[in-house]
Amino acid sequence: MKNESRYERGLAKLREIDGKAGEHVLESLDGIAPDFARYLIEFPFGDIYSRPGLDLKSREIAVVAALTALGNAAPQLKVHIQAALNVGVTRTEIVETIMQMAVYAGFPAALNGLAAAKEVFAQQAEQ
Amino acid sequence: MKNESRYERGLAKLREIDGKAGEHVLESLDGIAPDFARYLIEFPFGDIYSRPGLDLKSREIAVVAALTALGNAAPQLKVHIQAALNVGVTRTEIVETIMQMAVYAGFPAALNGLAAAKEVFAQQAEQ
Amino acid sequence: MKNESRYERGLAKLREIDGKAGEHVLESLDGIAPDFARYLIEFPFGDIYSRPGLDLKSREIAVVAALTALGNAAPQLKVHIQAALNVGVTRTEIVETIMQMAVYAGFPAALNGLAAAKEVFAQQAEQ
Amino acid sequence: MKNESRYERGLAKLREIDGKAGEHVLESLDGIAPDFARYLIEFPFGDIYSRPGLDLKSREIAVVAALTALGNAAPQLKVHIQAALNVGVTRTEIVETIMQMAVYAGFPAALNGLAAAKEVFAQQAEQ
Amino acid sequence: MKNESRYERGLAKLREIDGKAGEHVLESLDGIAPDFARYLIEFPFGDIYSRPGLDLKSREIAVVAALTALGNAAPQLKVHIQAALNVGVTRTEIVETIMQMAVYAGFPAALNGLAAAKEVFAQQAEQ
Amino acid sequence: MKNESRYERGLAKLREIDGKAGEHVLESLDGIAPDFARYLIEFPFGDIYSRPGLDLKSREIAVVAALTALGNAAPQLKVHIQAALNVGVTRTEIVETIMQMAVYAGFPAALNGLAAAKEVFAQQAEQ
């Protein structure tokens, strides 16, 4: 059935991209909005990230750029800095993407993005 | 001299990336803030876009993503959709980048980004 | 099949809520991102608006509030002011919702929201 | 006198809607901007929330939607999730309102709004 | 009576600061939200702009900075660029304020702010 | 050489305005993006803050206003509330600037700005 495979495709993609952090996001929805966990799997991951036409590295660069620029979703920015690393974006490429946001969203947005990257890189080094 | 080359490097980079649209931005600053035209050449283009570590295609994907998500800089989004085409990002990659922003900034942001892309692609087809 | 009914349910809901304006949004995606029209039908309308637990009037009040506060999606705000009228929100309730946003997003956001409402109400009166 | 009644009407409305959380907001302004506490009572509560034309449940749904979408005012979002409960909005309605913001402001905004709701609901359960 | 003088004080202040543009804003609310015109006179102008402790020039610099940075309220930004001129802020000071926003909100915000200033200055020159 | 003096001029200006907080920002970039520390010194401080045409008090009022309104850069807002004090803006002027943002960005933005000011003023009193 098509809808089940959409869920399954999304869950596999979520695990590929976000790893453990993705599972934590899903768990955080327990007891408050379990249906939203399903939507999160189905639409962003089952529909969008599963599309051809843009490789996963570029997709994660796009997300890191957007969340740095918006500056109002710190937990998700960290998840996607880790996700970028997971799909093969280098630390240098992440830092360059965030620094470039100084031009489009200002220095505070870039500084806060760089602080998030520093934290994620340090956590990764510990493991 | 280093500073001159920073300006020159920036101007060359601006022309490579933004083409005519970049020149129009500079001209628009005549008679209001000519120094700002210089800063625009020197910092974003002479400093940031001239850095190694992230290719120009990825840089333009990052900008298209961020400006789509912010949703409050329509003229600059169009300039960078064109710039993305100029540096080799395909129409499909641009559309995928913008569509993905529905996940991070909502459907209205993505719809307005797609409308901008449609307009830029049509202008390009006319030429 | 479940996915087809999700699409069909979404399309029916879109027509119920957005009327002609919804069809125009779908048409605007022709030739640029037809898949995005499908996602728009399936996720917002087939999934979210079709849920029980919050009546359509409250859903449209929520959207008018949010788009007024964000202030960066004028076309979608107009679509949803019309949608609010379509599902039974009164003009007074729409105006009150927008005015209240002065408290949460500032007077400019509320003024621009009221201008959008004035325009939509005038278009409706003409028809 | 009209102005006194505006203050008194606002204070009564603030207590009705925000309860203890409202008092904490007022106290937090001691020693920094006591006049702002007065404005907060008079304009949002004495003027806006005291208006007929939109019931308090709808007003709180509008605020929860807007603050979730803006994503940059976490403390106030929590106050208004509690306020929504105070005036009779159900937990389900609050969760639906926040989930719907995924469509208009993206999944990160909705996820952070749901986390705020989870926290407020848990605090309420403890009491 | 205190409330009447609050309205009167606000109206005088609005005329002093915004001139004709302020009257147009009030007129634009006719037939959609006349009470909101009263609130606009009373709270921003009768309460806030009438306070001692910050001179009008600084208040207008603050508003031009904030509306440039937010980037989602173009009509109000133009009104306040004119208002800044009305209360004695020089063209140079306005341009410097807007240019500085490139640092805090990015180059697109500053470019759009400068375009607004160019338009307002040109309109002023025509008169 | 011009570029060196741009760096030196920027560093002197950063120290004059931001004091110790500025040094902490630079240090925070160690090990993640040292080049960004250089850009921060050169463009905002070497270029923008070093310009004539707007005095430093007005520049800091503009920044406090903008960061309060944006509401997504709390650490930088605190740095600039301290910076405003450093260049001679009074506590009253800072509080007035932040309160005024209730009009342009809503009460939550102003409340969060006032909380930041309260914290900075208390830290200053301790020293």
**C-alpha span between C117 and C80 (Å, rounded):** 10
Q: From the centroid of its chain, how far is CA A2?
A: 26
Per-residue pLDDT tens over the stretch C46-80: 999 999 999 999 999 999 999 999 999 999 999 99
Structure tokens at F64: 């406090």
DSSP code, position C54: S
pLDDT of residue C4: 62
Structure tokens at C90: 């009164």
Distant-in-sequence, close-in-space partners of C90: CB < 8 Å, separation ≥ 6? none
The pTM (predicted TM-score) of the whole model is: 0.97
Mean pLDDT value of segment F73-81: 98
**C-alpha span between D37 and D39 (Å, rounded):** 5
pLDDT of residue E3: 53
Look at residue B117 and give its three-state secondary structure. Answer: helix
pLDDT band at B1 (very low <50, low <70, confident <90, very high): very low
Contact in structure between C62 and D105 (CB atoms under 8 Å): no
**C-alpha span between D4 and D42 (Å, rounded):** 9
DSSP code, position F89: -
Mean pLDDT value of segment B50-66: 98
Distant-in-sequence, close-in-space partners of D69: CB < 8 Å, separation ≥ 6? B106, C66, C67, C69, C70, D101, D104, D105, D109
Cβ of E70 under 8 Å from any chain A Cβ? no
Per-residue pLDDT tens over the stretch D28-65: 999 999 999 999 999 999 999 999 999 999 999 999 99
pLDDT of residue E1: 43
**C-alpha span between E43 and F107 (Å, rounded):** 12
**C-alpha span between F56 and F62 (Å, rounded):** 10
CA distance D82 to chain E (A): 27
- Which of A25, A26, A32, A45 would best serve as a mutation to test chain D binding (most D beta carbons within 10 A)? A32
From chain B, pick out residues whose CB is under 8 angstroms from the CB of F43: 39, 43, 47
User: What residues in chain A have per-residue pLDDT under 50?
Assistant: 1-2
CB contact (8 A) between residue D72 and residue A76: no
Helices (H), chain D: 2-28, 34-40, 56-70, 74-86, 91-105, 107-126
Contact residues, A window 73-102, toward B, CB-based 8 Å cutoff: 73, 76, 92-93, 95-97, 99-102
Nearest to C104 among F69, F101, F106 (CB): F106
pLDDT of residue C3: 53
pLDDT of residue C45: 97
Q: Where do we find the tokens 């923008």? A: F48
pLDDT of residue A4: 61
pLDDT of residue A1: 43
Whether the per-residue pLDDT at E5 is higher than 90: the answer is no
From chain E, pick out residues whose CB is under 8 angstroms from the CB of B75: 108, 111-112
Which among B74, B71, B58 is positioned nearest to B17, based on CA atoms? Answer: B58
From chain F, pick out residues whose CB is under 8 angstroms from the CB of C103: 106-107
**C-alpha span between E16 and D125 (Å, rounded):** 53
Closest residue of chain D to B100, computed from CA coordinates: D106
DSSP calls for chain A: -HHHHHHHHHHHHHHHHHHHHHHHHHHHTTTT-HHHHHHHIIIIIIIITT-SSS-HHHHHHHHHHHHHHH-S-HHHHHHHHHHHHHTT--HHHHHHHHHHHHHHH-HHHHHHHHHHHHHHHHHHHH-
Look at residue C40 and give its three-state secondary structure. Answer: helix
Per-residue pLDDT tens over the stretch F17-48: 999 999 999 999 999 999 999 999 999 999 99
Which element (helix H / strand E) includes B28? helix B2-28
Which among F72, B62, D39 is positioned nearest to A66, based on CA atoms? Answer: B62
Whether the per-residue pLDDT at D127 is higher than 90: the answer is no
Mean pLDDT value of segment B59-77: 98
Which among F49, C108, A71, F68 is positioned nearest to E97, based on CA atoms? Answer: F49
pLDDT band at B127 (very low <50, low <70, confident <90, very high): confident
**C-alpha span between B69 and B29 (Å, rounded):** 26
pLDDT of residue B70: 98
Cβ of A70 under 8 Å from any chain B Cβ? yes
- Which of D32, D39, D63, D67 would best serve as a mutation to test chain F binding (most F beta carbons within 10 A)? D32
pLDDT band at D3 (very low <50, low <70, confident <90, very high): low
**Percent of chain E clearing pLDDT 90 (strictly above):** 92
**Percent of chain C clearing pLDDT 70 (strictly above):** 97
Which element (helix H / strand E) includes C57? helix C56-70
CA distance E94 to chain B (A): 10
DSSP code, position B88: T
pLDDT band at B3 (very low <50, low <70, confident <90, very high): low
Cβ of A107 under 8 Å from any chain F Cβ? yes
Whether the per-residue pLDDT at B58 is higher than 70: the answer is yes
Which among A54, A21, C11, B72 is positioned nearest to E77, based on CA atoms? Answer: B72
Contact in structure between E60 and E87 (CB atoms under 8 Å): yes
pLDDT of residue D1: 43
Nearest to C114 among E29, E67, E72 (CB): E29
pLDDT of residue B37: 97
CATH classification (class only), A54-127: mainly alpha
pLDDT of residue B78: 98
**C-alpha span between D90 and D124 (Å, rounded):** 13
pLDDT of residue C1: 43
Whether the per-residue pLDDT at F117 is higher than 80: the answer is yes
Contact in structure between C122 and F119 (CB atoms under 8 Å): no
Nearest to D73 among F99, F108, F117 (CB): F108
From chain C, pick out residues whose CB is under 8 angstroms from the CB of E40: 107, 111
Closest residue of chain E to F70, computed from CA coordinates: E70
Contact residues, C window 18-57, toward E, CB-based 8 Å cutoff: none
**C-alpha span between D32 and F117 (Å, rounded):** 8
Nearest to B67 among E98, E108, E118 (CB): E108
Mean pLDDT value of segment C94-103: 98
- The neighbour count for residue E39, using CB atoms within 10 Å, is 20
Whether the per-residue pLDDT at F2 is higher than 70: the answer is no
Strand segments (E) across E6-123: none
- The neighbour count for residue E41, using CB atoms within 10 Å, is 23
Mean pLDDT value of segment E39-62: 97
CB contact (8 A) between residue E107 and residue B44: yes
**C-alpha span between F85 and A110 (Å, rounded):** 25
Extents of the domains making up chain E: 1-52, 54-127
Which among A77, B99, A72 is positioned nearest to C70, based on CA atoms? Answer: A72
Alpha-carbon distances of B45 from A97, B30, D14, rounded to whole Å = 14, 19, 51
**Percent of chain F clearing pLDDT 90 (strictly above):** 92
From chain E, pick out residues whose CB is under 8 angstroms from the CB of F105: 66, 70
Whether the per-residue pLDDT at D4 is higher than 80: the answer is no
In the chain, the amino acid numbered A49 is Y
**C-alpha span between B94 and C50 (Å, rounded):** 31
From chain C, pick out residues whose CB is under 8 angstroms from the CB of E73: 71, 106, 108-109, 112
Whether the per-residue pLDDT at E4 is higher than 80: the answer is no
**C-alpha span between F100 and A51 (Å, rounded):** 47
**C-alpha span between D61 and D117 (Å, rounded):** 13
Please give the torsion angle defined by the CA atoms of residues C48, D75, F114 and D59, in that order, rounded to the nearest 10 degrees: 50
Nearest to B69 among A57, A69, A92 (CB): A69
Contact in structure between F105 and C104 (CB atoms under 8 Å): no
Torsion region of A52: left, alpha or beta (phi above 0 gives left; psi -120 to 50 gives alpha): beta
From chain C, pick out residues whose CB is under 8 angstroms from the CB of F112: none
Closest residue of chain D to E38, computed from CA coordinates: D47
In this predicted structure, which of A121-125, C97-101, E80-84 has the lowest mean pLDDT? A121-125
CB contact (8 A) between residue B39 and residue F39: no
Q: From the centroid of its chain, how far is CA E43?
A: 14
Please give the torsion angle defined by the CA atoms of residues E74, E77, C111 and C14, in that order, rounded to the nearest 10 degrees: 20
In the chain, the amino acid numbered A115 is A
pLDDT of residue B4: 62
Mean pLDDT value of segment E38-46: 97
**C-alpha span between D81 and A21 (Å, rounded):** 27
pLDDT band at F3 (very low <50, low <70, confident <90, very high): low
